[in-house]
Amino acid sequence: MTARTRALRYSLWMLFRFSLAGVVLVALVVLVFMGLGSNYSFEWDKALEFLSWYNRGLGVTLELFVFSATLAVSLGLLVALMRLSPWGPVRDLAGLYVHTFRNLPALVVLLLFFFGLGQIIPLPTIRAPALPHVEILLGAALVAVYAYVLRFKWKRLSAGKKAALLISLAGVSYLLFLWSPITLFGKDYNNIFLWGVIAFGVYESSYLGETFRAGIQSVHRTQIEAAQSLGMNYLQVMGYVVLPQALRVILPPLTSTLVALVKETALIYLVRGIGDLTDQARQLAVPTRRPYIFEFYTILVCYYLAIVIPLSVLSQWLEGKLGISKARRMAVHHDA
């Protein structure tokens, strides 16, 4: 039995096992429902007609995520550098920032920014300039990233494999962005959306700030000394020695924070509906007009699972790759 067939059989077995467990769980739940006297009639086919609504919501959710994540990472870096600054007051200020936002619920931060500041400082509607064929550009970017990651293995691939890889990559990225619900460019972003981005960005930047700081501090002081002894200036020490090593420590919590951010974007529904995934489901699930409420919400749950689970798996895979390849190398420091 080759390794391939073994892997295939294993995954099939796993699928069977989890399906069985799922069926048992669902059966238990249905029994509980019936025991509690439910006489609900399920109408899945009627609910599934509304999938296009969900897709539109998915687009809004993802757009909110992309912008908030960018803001959170940038602010987080700034906060981390402030926390590591040699000036006490700067450190303390950043520390207050971090501890305040980490101890508040995300919803409260959102409300504070939107209703508190948002009413005082109304933001203009920003129009993102239209980029033609943005899917192709984004697809090309994806290919470039993957090519960079593969650059060492590239030389050892045969010509046929290289061609196959290129074609499949191009195809996947093209399809991905053709069907993508994200537009990002050429549309208006209104006041609500912008304040949402600011609120989520600021909130998550407090967590990311700590993550970045811990990562940078995890690089042993002796590494910095060695780099300095070569005559490197601050930027060179950071760029060539500290950050590459810090990145390995930062990546796992970074990805988990970003995954949490995707889930948090659902909160914007509570402020104002801007048509994100949760909002769309709520608009659909009006008991008087469409009484198949349970189905609508189950589909909503499935949509979130469909986004978040692949992201989690991806982040675990990344950690694994980084862990194996770099963990050995990082353990060079001996304790005398």
Q: Looking at residues 280 to 309 of the shown chain, list those that interact with another protein (rule: CB under 8 A).
A: 281-282, 285, 287, 291, 293-294, 296-298, 300-301, 304-305, 308-309
The smaller minimum CB distance to another protein, of residues 178 and 301, is found at: 301
The pairing of beta strand 188-189 with beta strand 126-127: antiparallel
Q: Does 334 bind another protein (CB under 8 A)?
A: yes
List C-alpha distances in Å: 119 to 66, 195, 267, 275, 296: 25, 10, 19, 21, 33
Q: Does 324 bind another protein (CB under 8 A)?
A: no
Radius of gyration of the chain (CA): 24
Q: Does 251 bind another protein (CB under 8 A)?
A: no
Q: Does 89 bind another protein (CB under 8 A)?
A: yes
Chain positions 28 to 47 lying near another protein, rule: CB under 8 A, are: 33, 36-40
The smaller minimum CB distance to another protein, of residues 71 and 284, is found at: 284
**How far is 72 from 164, CA to CA, in rounded Å?**
37
One of 112, 134, 136, 194 touching another protein (CB under 8 A): 112
CB atoms under 10 Å from CB of 118, counted, come to 22
Q: Does 329 bind another protein (CB under 8 A)?
A: yes
List C-alpha distances in Å: 217 to 80, 214, 226, 329: 10, 5, 16, 18
One of 44, 46, 92, 164 touching another protein (CB under 8 A): 92
One of 47, 60, 79, 241 touching another protein (CB under 8 A): 241
One of 2, 119, 158, 288 touching another protein (CB under 8 A): 119
Chain positions 69 to 88 lying near another protein, rule: CB under 8 A, are: 88
The count of C-alpha atoms lying within 13 angstroms of the C-alpha of 192, restricted to the half-sphere facing its C-beta, is: 12
| Ranges assigned E (strand) in the chain | 126-127, 188-189
